[in-house]
Amino acid sequence: MSIYNLNEKLEEDDNVIQVYRKSLLYLVSNALEVAENTKCKNAKILGMKKFAKKIERLPNQTFYYSNGSSSKKTRSRSHGGFDNDPVTMNHILKEILGERPSIPFTKKSLKE
């Protein structure tokens, strides 16, 4: 299982429709979730890099973290951007096909 996430800087720079100035995952972790069997907030969220070492992993589970610019696996700059990012989509397609796609995704093809 491959999980695509933002690095911590991009996570903090993401926002929820300009109302909450961090990503939706911060909103859920900090405000809406209560950790199991405790009364404290800051629930561990699978998609947040800061909790990556604290979450029990499944066999064959791989996390990819976008830095927004130079990764060969993902370059999304927001949570809503992974499906519009050609690097991410081509990496997923390569994982499925077992080889590079003969017709790779492009920025143009993902916007159509």
pLDDT (tens digit, 0 to 9) for every residue of the chain, 112 residues total? 888 989 888 888 877 677 766 677 777 776 655 556 555 556 677 777 777 776 667 788 888 999 999 889 999 998 889 999 999 999 999 999 999 999 999 999 998 6
Instruction: Please count the structural domains in the chain.
Output: 1
pLDDT at 8: 86
pLDDT of 29: 72
Residue type, 12: E
Q: Give pLDDT, residue 104.
A: 96
Answer yes or no: are the C-beta atoms of 87 and 74 closer than 8 Å: yes
Domain that holds residue 8: 2-111
What residues have CB less than 8 Å from 34, skipping those under 6 apart?
40, 41, 43
Report how far apart, in Å, the C-alpha atoms of 104 and of each of 73, 81, 94 are.
14, 17, 9
User: From CA 61, how far away is CA 59, in angstroms rounded?
Assistant: 6
**Tokens representing residue 55 in the block:** 């979450």
**Rounded CA gap, 86 and 13, in Å?**
21
